[in-house]
Chain A
Amino acid sequence: MIDTSTYFDMKGWKRFGSICRASFRPAALSDEDGRMRTRLTTDEIAVRDAFGDFFTNESPSAVVRGAATGNGFDRSLWEALSAMGAPGMSLPESMGGAGATLTDLAIVAEVAGAHLAPVPLVEHAVAARALARSGGHDALVAELATGELIGTVALRSPIEGTARLVPAGAIADLVLHHGDGRTELSRNPAPGAAVPNTADLPLAHRATTGAEPVALDDAGWERTLDEWRALTAVAYVGLAKRALEIGVAYAKERIQFGVPIGTFQAVQHGFADAGTRVEGAHLLAQRAVWALDTDQSDACRLAGMALLFAAESARFATDRALQYHGGYGFSEEYDIQLYHRHATAWILQLGEPAAEYARLAAAEYGPVEGAA
């Protein structure tokens, strides 16, 4: 167990973390002219590098594997991340947050995704932001901002008093859920153990009995889910880029027929197709986050599209990277299988991908006529 306070002081992280927090732009954007900037700004690069170094040091695959044998969560990593200010970075300053934009949060989500960090950064932020928007929960939001209290969202409506397979449900202190037009907050105790699942995620069923009402209507809840979609899309991009790095590095080292397998065009072209899709997913996911940040009229559409495309691209990329590992890719020892399993799992927490396509189609083409 690392003593985080000493560690951060030693590394100067605490100081740097506060510099980062100070550099976050306020959530309310100015009405300055648009300027088509598809790449990170200098400030955004500073945030990425700070958290990139953090996750490289604090969330190596040994940490991911360690969490997998427990409940899919690493509390000391969460505490270290909290010391960096990440859980509250995108919450209003009036509620103890740092007032950063969703775009800033997305940068952290991407590097967390790249390292498969076993912490519920996205779910926690989305739940806390929803409570902050709903009003009347300022004290609770302030507790969430420090990371001392962990929040999450049930992505699917509870049935008969139970929300099934809630992301971070194994460990979250509070669960935000929505059904029958009502948003509610449950604070039943976390089970502490995850249900066994494909990617060793901290999934658990949560009782929704005794829930308190939250003033968030259907549109407000949809916004909450769209933030989850866009941030998860960005995390998928981080995962996929890292999976390709791992695969490419392996293909440059692995010798067969007397040459590195990365010299074979069959291998190169599989990687090239994956790299192209992942780059496309990156641009779409960032645009979706920006659209939510700035309340663009197509934000909801882009968030849904970004998640589906990023998930599919990440699944393709991890499939290629695992394939080019040969038998080793299938072995537990190599990290690429972790990426493959996480790529498979993340989007399914929301439900069937087909239902997501159908949801977007309904918005585009109207409801199905003659449907039951």
Chain B
Amino acid sequence: MDFSFPPDVEAFRAEVRSFLDEHLTEEMIEATHDGTIHAPELHAAMAAKGWLAGPVPEELGGGGRSALESVVLNEEMQLARAPIDAMAVAIIVAAILLEHGNDFLKETAVPRLLDGSALGCFGYTEPESGSDVAAATTRAVQDGDEWVINGAKMWTTMAHVADYVILLTRTDPDVPKHKGLTFFLVPLDTPGIEIQPVPTMATERSNATFYDDVRLSDDWRVGDVNGGWAVMKTALKYERGIAGGQFLSPPVIGAAVDWACNHVRADGRRPIDDPAVRETLIRAEIDVEVCRGFAYHCADLANEGEMFGVEGSMTKLFASETYKRHAREFHDLMGAEGLLTHESPEAHLGGRIEENLRHSPVTAIYGGTSEINRNLVAEVHLGLPRMR
């Protein structure tokens, strides 16, 4: 048992912190209020460091950074509130292509995704298929040496700024659903693609994308024809391994402590001197330490070459559900003042808690809902019967 990092990983943590001190600005974080959780300058600086390629295995052409370094990078970025959504997606798309893509894709798209000059987005979910992702109906039909794609995708977040969508399609409707799927990488400037904004209850914007007789050469196919489920599994593996989400709460707790110490209630006392408030805060701090344990445990497993599965489900389930509760509790703590959004100059810390309250519900939905994760924990971790 040893919960300390090797010295080289601690040195890397220090490097990440000074990098963020230098490159991450409050203006960058505020700029995400336009709906796009992406900071181009930060992204470019990360690329220049070689950190975009970091989590991708070296034998696949990535940076080969260890899982311990990846978790530390992830932790520091989240604690600093760095806008990393677009970055995480770009890295995952590159990793999928490196594992399943042909030479054409590895020579064209991958270098651009990893040097920061291109962004990607996910095209898995459809209007009628979310958690049941293998039920996708977006159709790809072969026509000579081209493919013709028709259908619609939901939650193609970043599509409006991205260069590529990694698209899950149905190539054989007459076999069991997992066996008739094929992936493509689709340049978003291909004729026949329409991108429509999907505004959300939080500040961030998502998209719906529509594919009307979109024609692609076979070069853009990712993996085997009807072999899409294997690619999907890789995609989910990297999404759990690379994407963050374990340290969503600390910035909210930090804002709540700031409020509790500096606000004065009508009775002349500060919230921080109220035992109920202190208990709520310290319980949230405990939840953060639990998330940290989960994050380090997953990193340890990955570092030893054991790709984690259900451990990732537990991490995401616990982190997102507690984050939702923290955002709710600390929004409540502020009472009426908590209602002010970032658009109000009077909002506390730029409306950080209010914004997190509106953002938090989606974290228990995207990348595997809490219900799907509970199913997995019940089946895999506890050995209850599989029921779906």
Contact = CB atoms under 8 A, between A and B. Distances in A.
A36 B371 contact: no
Interface in B335-388: 371, 373-375, 377-379, 381-385, 387
A111 interface: no
B297 A37 contact: no
B279 A272 contact: no
B371 A33 contact: no
B2 A265 contact: no
A124 B305 CA distance: 40
B296 interface: yes
A269 B374 contact: yes
Given A36-B6, A365-B272, A276 B318 contact: yes
Contacts of B311: 279
Contact of B293 (A273, A280, A294, A365): A280
Nearest to A285: B293
B375 A272 contact: yes
Interface in B260-291: 260-261, 269-270, 272-273, 275, 278-279, 281-283, 285-286, 289-291
A360 B382 CA distance: 33
Contacts of B176: none
Interface stretch (A75-83, A126-134, A192-200, A301-309): A301-309
Contacts of A275: 314, 377-378, 381-382
Interface residues of A, number: 54
A305 B285 contact: yes
A368 B374 contact: no
A286 B300 CA distance: 14
B4 A272 contact: no
A265 B261 CA distance: 43
B257 A369 contact: no
B7 A34 contact: yes
B6 A34 contact: yes
A137 interface: no
B294 interface: yes
Contact of A262 (B373, B377, B385): B385
A284 B290 contact: yes
A19 interface: no
B6 A360 contact: no
B374 A272 contact: yes
B299 interface: yes
Contacts of B4: 34-36, 294
Interface in A239-298: 244, 248, 251-252, 260, 262-263, 265, 267-269, 271-273, 275-277, 279-281, 283-284, 286-287, 289-291, 294
A370 interface: yes
Contact of A279 (B6, B261, B375, B381): B381
A309 B290 CA distance: 9
B68 interface: yes
Contacts of B299: 36
Contacts of A22: none
B175 interface: no
Contact of B282 (A272, A284, A290, A364): A364
Nearest to B311: A279
A337 to B, nearest CB: 21
B313 to A, nearest CB: 8
Given A33-B6, A244-B382, A263 B387 contact: yes
A289 B282 contact: no
B375 A358 contact: no
A260 to B, nearest CB: 7
A370 B297 CA distance: 42
B203 interface: no
B51 to A, nearest CB: 20
A284 B289 contact: yes
B278 A358 contact: yes
A150 to B, nearest CB: 28
Given A39-B300, A272-B374, A309 B1 contact: no
Interface of A: 33-41, 44, 103, 244, 248, 251-252, 260, 262-263, 265, 267-269, 271-273, 275-277, 279-281, 283-284, 286-287, 289-291, 294, 302, 305, 308-309, 354, 357-358, 360-361, 364-365, 368-371
7 nearest A-B pairs in the assembled complex, by CB-CB distance: A34-B4, A283-B293, A268-B378, A361-B278, A272-B374, A272-B377, A280-B290
Interface of B: 1-7, 9-10, 68, 257, 260-261, 269-270, 272-273, 275, 278-279, 281-283, 285-286, 289-291, 293-294, 296-297, 299-301, 303, 311, 314, 317-318, 371, 373-375, 377-379, 381-385, 387
9 contacts: A34-B5, A34-B7, A36-B299, A263-B387, A269-B378, A279-B311, A284-B289, A286-B1, A305-B289
Given A263-B387, A294-B4, A365-B261, 16 more contacts: A34-B2, A34-B4, A34-B5, A36-B303, A248-B383, A265-B387, A269-B371, A271-B378, A273-B317, A275-B377, A283-B290, A309-B290, A358-B278, A360-B285, A368-B273, A368-B275
